[in-house]
Amino acid sequence: MINVYSYRGKEPILSNEKVVGTRFFENDSIQMVHIKLKPEALLHAHKSDVDAILYVLSGIVEVEINGELARLEKNEMIEFPKNILHSVKNVGSDEAEVLVIKILG
């Protein structure tokens, strides 16, 4: 049996005027969150208790991990080690979309 998952139609877990994050898949091993960031939007510095990967679907984002900056564009990814401060900012002129995959187990 084939299962198809989408963030469309799901209730956001994070929503304000500049950032919308929607969890659309979770099992024992991973959790997937689709995040839209309007131009200049900032997902403030935070820590996670699990390792994660951020994959850029569209736009240009700047990621800060423990004080180090990286600029990512479409089809690039970066790792977020657990328990390390990280933030994401849309530095492009268009909306950016990213996929965050949290490694649960």
- What's the rounded mean pLDDT across residues 72-80? 97
Q: What's the pTM?
A: 0.92
Nearest to 100, CA basis, from 13, 4, 35: 35
Confidence bin at 53 (pLDDT 50/70/90)? very high
7: pLDDT strictly greater than 90: no
Residue recorded with tokens 């979770």: 26
The rounded distance, in Å, linking the Cα atoms of 43 and 47 is: 12
Superfamily grouping for domain 15-103: Jelly Rolls (2.60.120.10)
Confidence bin at 43 (pLDDT 50/70/90)? very high
